[in-house]
């Protein structure tokens, strides 16, 4: 990389004022008034009358050190920063109404424009303020990379474009678990394009070369929670313009759909395991679980996945029943059957299983499975079990007419596995998410190694890991957030409001991303990483624009990402001729 190095060599390189580093002419001068004193962490710039600075511009200023007092004899410090506020005012006026007099030429006054710069880096690391009157330059190329710490990233991933069309990078080490992991995305539904950005991030990870040879084995599990947007990830988008293709090129990415995708959708009600989708059926596999799998793998807990009070004993009853169901699954013959036998009763569908559980749990019917749980708790357990049956019964089957393995969600089958849950009831959604994540995490624990990586993309995170209460899915997500890094499991979670998500899940995310936010939400403590200016801007962001905070850069960066190169609905799928042209 044509970047700078630390110490005297870095300072000497900046002194050369290479054209690819900074503008040839300064954009302004450092202010030093009592009200706008310069500090090592921030300073104001008087913008020259024939120049301008806008929000998000990257600047550089060199401040001298007396007698070459810096490390290695460096005679100065290069201070880099990002513009986070710009203001304009009339100098020489006192009252607000004077603006009309100035406009009419009756009162002498000059327009002064100033910009505030949040410091991002000092080289060498000597924390001195830039001196008033020092020339400030707009940074490009190598100087911009130094300002944003891109030059120190051993492996970097393009995560978007600046407003000036220059790439913005993230350090892979904070995504793959080497030094950190997990991403949290917040924003208003339908405006913040949270899922679109999550998929762009996956596209960048697979297509940028950052993962190297690992990309072929890296897996992603994506839960499709709204519409059928994600069932067309492997189809080119006919609405992608040449301008958007150029933006992909600027990021070093191909304007292409995902190459390796497996789509799963819940089976419809009825005897045949046909996927329950709308516009797309081809290439989509219907998924379900057998009664034996449900019992043997202890999936009952995920039918009670609503957040409960910590004092509730319903979870205790569910665990006790799970133990008995697992024992029944081991004892049922034949071992390869989809059905199970409980108390001498053969269960061939979920309704029969619910009835058998009631017989073995309800003390009025002689059941003993609930142990010493109070009668009211047992009845609460049975009521919730019966309420779940109409919504999940078709996903748990006791008579499999086809190969069961062909309808099992296999997240190792392709690079990206899309699990569609958008047509399911909330109870069924929680069940599917819990079962898939539990099984995946168990398989990763069995392997005991972090590679290959697994990325989990889950929208509506507040439903599955709410701030208050306790649930089995919340436990799984907390496990992923706290231990997933060591096992190579990375959570990319999204929600409208981070304030409604379990704080420990959000706190473990190395990357925080926000799209458009409600004004009140932007001022919650969960967004403390945003500067005051960024909080104000968050309520104005347009689709395709995000604010990203990452560990190595002290200020959040605003970026834009290209329009999806993959179709997000059936109407966007490119015709066959266009697809052939794209392949060519």
- Listing DSSP states for 529-554 in one string gives TS-HHHHHHHTTPPTTEEEEE-TTSS
Contact 30/132 with Cβ under 8 angstroms? yes
Return the percentage of the chain with pLDDT > 70, whole number: 92
Closest by alpha carbon to 480, among 469, 471, 491? 491
Domains annotated for the chain, with CATH where assigned, are 8-152 (no CATH), 167-260+414-583 (3.40.50.300), 289-397 (no CATH)
Residue 61 has pLDDT above 90, yes or no: yes
| Pick from 106-120, 212-226, 293-307, 498-512: least confident | 293-307
Q: State residue 446's pLDDT score.
A: 92
| Pick from 316-320, 409-413, 571-575: least confident | 571-575
Per-residue pLDDT averaged across 159-169, rounded?
A: 94
Give the DSSP letter of residue 118: E
How far apart (Å, rounded) are the C-alpha atoms in residues 145 and 152? Answer: 9
How far apart (Å, rounded) are the C-alpha atoms in residues 352 and 346? Answer: 8
Q: State residue 287's pLDDT score.
A: 93
Per-residue tokens: 37: 């004193």
Q: State residue 74's pLDDT score.
A: 61
The CA distances from residue 177 to 64, 71, 445, 508, in Å, are 40, 34, 15, 11
Q: State residue 14's pLDDT score.
A: 38
Q: What is the pLDDT of residues 175-184, one digit of tens each?
A: 999 999 999 9
Confidence of residue 310 (pLDDT cuts 50, 70, 90): low
How far apart (Å, rounded) are the C-alpha atoms in residues 313 and 373? Answer: 8
Q: What is the pLDDT of residues 10-49, one digit of tens each?
A: 333 334 434 456 677 899 999 999 889 999 999 999 999 8
Q: State residue 311's pLDDT score.
A: 53
Q: State residue 106's pLDDT score.
A: 86
For residue 129, the SS3 value is coil
Residue 125 has pLDDT above 70, yes or no: yes
Burial class (CB in 10 A: 0-12, 13-18, 19+), 559: buried
Alpha helix stretches (DSSP H) within 179-313: 194-207, 242-250, 291-296
Q: Which of 13-27, 395-409, 547-561 has the highest mean pLDDT?
A: 547-561
Q: State residue 363's pLDDT score.
A: 81
Per-residue buried b or exposed e for 299-334, using 16+ beta carbons within 10 Å of the residue's own CB: bbbbbbbebbeeeebbbebbebbbebbeebbeebee
Confidence of residue 1 (pLDDT cuts 50, 70, 90): very low
CA 120 to chain centre: 24
How far apart (Å, rounded) are the C-alpha atoms in residues 257 and 432? Answer: 26
| Pick from 198-212, 281-295, 423-437: least confident | 281-295
Return the percentage of the chain with pLDDT > 90, whole number: 66
Closest by alpha carbon to 461, among 477, 483, 484? 477
Other C-beta atoms lying within 10 Å of the C-beta of residue 246: 12
From first CA to last CA, the distance across the chain in angstroms is: 32
Q: State residue 312's pLDDT score.
A: 66
């Amino acid at each position: 990389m044509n970047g700078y190095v630390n110490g005297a060599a870095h300072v000497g390189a900046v002194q050369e004022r290479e054209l690819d580093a900074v503008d040839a002419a300064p954009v302004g001068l450092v202010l030093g008034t009592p009200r706008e004193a310069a500090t090592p962490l921030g300073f104001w710039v008087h913008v020259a009358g024939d120049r301008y600075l806008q929000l998000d511009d990257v600047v550089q200023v060199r401040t001298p050190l007396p007698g070459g007092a810096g490390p290695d004899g460096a005679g100065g410090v290069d201070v880099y920063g990002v513009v986070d506020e710009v203001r304009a005012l009339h100098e020489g006026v006192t009252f607000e109404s004077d603006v009309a007099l100035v406009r009419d030429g009756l009162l002498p006054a000059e327009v002064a424009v100033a910009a505030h710069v949040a410091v991002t880096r000092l080289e060498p690391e000597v924390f001195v303020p830039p001196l008033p009157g020092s020339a400030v330059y707009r940074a490009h190329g190598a100087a911009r990379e130094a300002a944003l710490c891109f030059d120190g990233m051993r492996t970097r991933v393009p995560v978007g474009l600046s407003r000036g069309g220059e790439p913005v990078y993230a350090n892979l080490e904070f995504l793959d678990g080497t030094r950190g992991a997990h991403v949290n995305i917040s924003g208003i539904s339908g405006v913040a394009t949270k899922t679109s950005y999550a998929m762009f991030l996956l596209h960048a990870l697979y297509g940028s070369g950052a993962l190297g040879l690992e990309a072929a084995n890296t897996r992603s599990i994506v839960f499709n929670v709204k519409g059928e947007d994600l069932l067309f990830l492997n189809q080119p988008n006919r609405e992608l313009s040449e301008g958007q293709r150029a933006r992909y090129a600027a990021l070093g990415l191909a304007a292409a759909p995902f190459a390796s995708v497996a789509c799963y959708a819940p089976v419809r009600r009825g005897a045949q395991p046909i996927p329950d989708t709308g516009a797309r059926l081809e290439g989509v596999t219907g998924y379900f679980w057998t009664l034996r799998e449900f019992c043997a793998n202890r999936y009952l807990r995920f039918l009670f996945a609503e957040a409960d009070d910590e004092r509730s004993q319903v979870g205790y009853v569910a665990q006790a029943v799970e133990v008995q169901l697992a024992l029944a699954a081991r004892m049922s013959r034949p071992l390869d059957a989809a059905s199970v036998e409980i108390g001498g009763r053969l269960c061939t569908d979920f309704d029969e299983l619910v009835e058998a559980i009631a017989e073995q749990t309800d003390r009025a019917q002689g059941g003993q499975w609930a142990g010493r749980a109070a009668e009211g708790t047992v009845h609460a357990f049975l009521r919730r079990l019966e309420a779940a049956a109409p919504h999940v019964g078709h996903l748990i089957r006791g008579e499999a007419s086809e190969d069961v393995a062909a309808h099992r969600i296999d997240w190792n089958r392709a690079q990206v596995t899309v699990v569609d849950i958008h047509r399911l009831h909330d109870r069924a959604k929680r069940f599917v998410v819990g079962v898939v994540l539990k099984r995946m995490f168990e398989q990763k624990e069995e392997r005991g190694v972090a590679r290959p990586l697994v990325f989990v993309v889950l929208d509506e995170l507040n439903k599955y890991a709410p701030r208050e209460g306790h649930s089995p899915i919340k436990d799984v997500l907390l496990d992923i957030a706290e231990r997933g890094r060591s096992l190579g499991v990375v959570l990319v979670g999204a929600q409208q409001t981070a304030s409604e998500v379990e704080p420990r899940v959000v706190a473990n995310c190395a990357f925080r991303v926000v799209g458009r936010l409600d004004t009140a939400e932007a001022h919650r403590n969960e967004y403390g990483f945003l500067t005051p200016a960024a909080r104000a801007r968050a309520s104005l962001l347009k689709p395709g624009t995000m604010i990203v905070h990452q560990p190595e850069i002290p200020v959040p960066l605003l970026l834009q990402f290209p329009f999806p190169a993959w179709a997000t609905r059936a109407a966007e799928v490119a015709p066959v001729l266009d697809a052939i042209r794209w392949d060519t």
